[in-house]
């Protein structure tokens, strides 16, 4: 077994970055962390590459708070100026793939969990390090929640780079592929039915569609047509036109409801790529919100998705780093951000009144 001491938070994050952990290929990080906890005398439940760690005095009669972040990363951009797994050393920055999204949250949550591991709290603390978050894989939080966590976890913090602001709502994601069908013909003879014209009419209809229910936290559903493709050559009336619609739902509608609203309005056939990427919002009177208010933490609505959309309990999204750096070349997190994240996670847990 590898000897881990002394592994402070900074060195632990540097170690994790050195271990390739693309979505579905997180085994090296999982292996390392199982041994890391074992060195400290802490047992880990491993399910595929997901890790579940419970407090020493875990009590099923208490409510349970989950600290969750993800071990996987996207693949590195071709524009990296250094090896994303062997980054240059800095006294102020930690560089490398997944350092910001979401390695800093992973390490800050590990340090927070270790701080409270043998302490008595009015609730249980559970650390869940999930996999396949970036590719919405079937063996990540989707599986964990349904089979292992839904009946145990009561509320959660989802670790993502938010600058330690609290995302109290998160828009979902609904991507729709549309296809209009026409009849081909010669452009010079006014023949056929132009599928491109059908699509243009449908796009105007979609653009003008109003969703009556407005979210207090997120406002209106956002709908944007982002791609369109038609035609084979200049003198042929296109018999097919495809387009893509990007929709950012709120908690006021589930994705199937949105599909049911839109399909009758257009001639094109609409197909959802995924109906499970739901939006989320923290109940205003929940203890998480009360803790956020007591600590004076800045709140916002997140435009990006996370494993929050795969769970059904109240949650907030909060972690060290900056979302704007995610999935970028030469990714980094500041050492000060990591240390501040640990300090503020600990303070948050101490202030929760379950």
Q: For residue 191, give the CATH number of its domain.
A: 3.30.70.360
pLDDT in tens, 164-213: 999 999 998 999 999 999 999 999 998 999 999 999 999 999 999 999 99
Residue ending a domain, among 211, 241, 272, is 272
64 in the same domain as 144: yes
In a domain, 193, yes or no: yes
Whether the pLDDT of residue 5 is over 50: the answer is no
In a domain, 69, yes or no: yes
Q: How many domains does the chain have?
A: 2
In a domain, 56, yes or no: yes
Mean of the per-residue pLDDT values for the chain?
95
Domain with 312, as residue range(s), is 9-170+279-351
Whether the pLDDT of residue 4 is over 60: the answer is no
346 in the same domain as 207: no
User: pLDDT confidence of 1, banded at 50, 70, 90?
Assistant: very low
Give the torsion through C-alpha atoms of 148, 153, 155, 161, to 10 deg. Answer: -40
Residue 122: give its domain's CATH number.
Answer: 3.40.630.10
43 in the same domain as 113: yes
Residue ending a domain, among 272, 298, 322, is 272
Whether the pLDDT of residue 47 is over 70: the answer is yes
pLDDT at 246: 95
pLDDT in tens, 53-89: 999 999 999 999 999 999 999 999 999 999 999 999 9
120 in the same domain as 179: no
111 in the same domain as 19: yes
Residue ending a domain, among 238, 272, 306, is 272
268 in the same domain as 245: yes
In a domain, 310, yes or no: yes
User: pLDDT confidence of 3, banded at 50, 70, 90?
Assistant: very low
In a domain, 4, yes or no: no
197 in the same domain as 266: yes
More confident residue, 4 or 181: 181
In a domain, 3, yes or no: no
pLDDT at 2: 45
Whether the pLDDT of residue 128 is over 80: the answer is yes
- pTM (2 d.p.): 0.85
What is the share, in percent, of the chain residues with pLDDT greater than 90? Answer: 90
Whether the pLDDT of residue 51 is over 70: the answer is yes
In a domain, 2, yes or no: no
193 in the same domain as 297: no
User: pLDDT confidence of 27, banded at 50, 70, 90?
Assistant: very high
165 in the same domain as 22: yes
What's the angle, vertex CA 273, arms to CA 271 and CA 276, rounded to 5? 115
Average pLDDT on 229-243 reads 96
218 in the same domain as 126: no
pLDDT in tens, 297-353: 999 999 888 999 999 999 999 999 999 898 899 999 999 999 999 999 999 999 999
pLDDT at 276: 85
184 in the same domain as 160: no
Average pLDDT on 230-245 reads 96
328 in the same domain as 250: no
In a domain, 110, yes or no: yes
Average pLDDT on 263-268 reads 98
């Amino acid at each position: 077994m590898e000897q881990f001491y002394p592994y402070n938070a900074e060195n632990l994050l540097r170690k994790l970055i050195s271990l390739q952990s693309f979505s579905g290929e997180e085994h090296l990080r999982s292996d390392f962390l199982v041994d890391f906890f074992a060195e400290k005398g802490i047992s880990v439940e491993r399910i595929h590459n997901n890790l579940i760690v419970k407090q020493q005095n875990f009590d099923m009669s208490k409510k349970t708070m989950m600290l969750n972040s993800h071990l996987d990363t996207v693949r590195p951009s071709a524009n990296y100026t250094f090896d994303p797994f062997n980054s240059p050393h800095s006294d102020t920055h930690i560089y490398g793939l997944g350092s910001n999204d979401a390695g800093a949250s992973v390490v800050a949550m590990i340090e927070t969990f270790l701080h409270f591991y043998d302490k008595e709290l009015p609730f249980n603390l559970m650390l869940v390090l999930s996999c396949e978050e970036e590719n919405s894989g079937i063996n990540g939080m989707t599986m964990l929640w349904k089979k292992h966590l839904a009946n145990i976890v009561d509320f959660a913090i989802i670790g993502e780079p938010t600058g330690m602001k609290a995302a109290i709502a998160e828009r979902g994601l609904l991507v729709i592929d549309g296809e209009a069908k026409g009849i081909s013909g010669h452009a010079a003879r006014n023949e056929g039915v132009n599928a491109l014209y059908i699509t243009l009419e449908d796009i105007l209809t979609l653009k003008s569609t109003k969703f009556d229910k407005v979210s207090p936290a997120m406002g209106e559903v956002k709908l944007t047509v982002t791609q369109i493709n038609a035609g084979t050559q200049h003198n042929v009336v296109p018999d097919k036109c495809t387009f893509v619609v990007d929709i950012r739902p709120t908690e006021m509608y589930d994705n199937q409801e949105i599909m049911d609203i839109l399909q009758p309005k257009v001639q094109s056939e609409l197909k959802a790529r995924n109906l499970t990427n739901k939006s989320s919002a923290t109940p205003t009177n929940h203890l998480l919100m009360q803790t956020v208010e007591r600590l004076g933490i800045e709140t916002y609505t997140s435009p990006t998705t996370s494993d929050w959309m795969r769970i059904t309990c109240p949650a907030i999204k909060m972690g060290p780093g900056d979302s704007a750096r995610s999935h970028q070349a030469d990714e980094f997190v500041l050492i000060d951000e990591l240390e501040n994240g640990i300090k503020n996670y600990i303070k948050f847990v101490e202030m929760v009144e379950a």
